[in-house]
Structure 1
Amino acid sequence: MVCPIETTVNLIGDKWKVLIMRDLLLRGTHRFGELKKGITGISEKMLTQQLRDLEQNGLISRKVYSEIPPRVEYSVTELGNSLRPIFDAMHVWGTDYLQKSDEKSE
């Protein structure tokens, strides 16, 4: 039997995928360059690979505009948007953790 948690981790458990999904869920549709600027430390090659994986798994969509130069936009699919409660919970937990860490260091 396949574990549902393992499936979720396999789909979004990579550091870069989480940050890509964060940006698309919080800020909406982005172009490649906007995503690269918003994710500190990611290379173009890694961003391309992660975007392809997320698209292949149905979590994001890629729209190519026939312009010169070509414009490509990435957005969250309906399936990807179903991850929003998970990201909301991670945000709440992270905020709480940071507050508790600050209290310990005072």
Structure 2
Amino acid sequence: MKKELFGVCPYVTSQKILTGKWSMYILYLLSEGPVRFNELQRRLPEEMTHATLSRQLKQLEEEGLILRHEYEQIPPKVEYSLSEIGEKFKTVLEALEIWGNEYIKWITDKNRKGTAKS
């Protein structure tokens, strides 16, 4: 019988929580401050349906990474922000940004060297 590693291993736990295609990018957008639903949808790099974004946000809310604040007004206003544990993810995002930029440079250099040989 295989051992369940969720909640035991930090890598498996992190990977399972961040399974949504846009989870990490949504967390990045929210790291800059509260954002309304339609603004999030506009800022995502690809067309995303209302249902897909809604599902991703619900998952992140269930995991405790984000908070949903609904204002009692007409028209309705809903904002999303990072929770306390979500705020702690900012250091991970910063580290990923550094590594991502280094990897982009590595790819660019590799491609440049590849075209120079042709």
Any idea what the Cα deviations from partners look like across 1:21-46, whole Å, max 9, x if unmatched?
11111x21100001001112321101
What residue number does 1:58 align with? Answer: 64
What residue number does 1:22 align with? Answer: 28
Asked whether the 8 Å contact 1:61–1:75 carries over to 2, the reply is yes
What residue number does 1:76 align with? Answer: 82
Q: Which has the higher contact order (CA 8 A, sep 6+)?
A: 1
- C-alpha separation between the residues in 2 aligned to 1:56 and 1:105? 41
User: In the TM superposition, what is the alpha-carbon distance from 1:72 to its structure 2 partner?
Assistant: 0.3
Q: Return the letter of the residue paired with 1:38.
A: R
What residue number does 2:38 align with? Answer: 33
SS of residue matched to 1:85: helix
- C-alpha separation between the residues in 1 aligned to 2:30 and 2:20? 16
- C-alpha separation between the residues in 2 aligned to 1:72 and 1:14? 21
TM-score of the pair, normalised by structure 2: 0.83
TM-score of the pair, normalised by structure 1: 0.91
Superposition RMSD on alpha carbons, in Å? 1.2
Alignment partner of 1:91 out of 93, 97, 101: 97
What are the ranges of 5 or more consecutive residues in structure 2 without an aligned counterpart? 113-118
Runs of 4+ with >2 A deviation: none
What are the ranges of 5 or more consecutive residues in structure 1 without an aligned counterpart? none
Structure having the higher Rg: 2
- C-alpha separation between the residues in 2 aligned to 1:70 and 1:33? 12
SS of residue matched to 2:75: coil
Q: Mean alpha-carbon deviation: is it higher for 2-11 or for 73-82?
A: 2-11
- C-alpha separation between the residues in 2 aligned to 1:42 and 1:93? 26
Provide the aligned length of Structure 1 versus Structure 2. 105
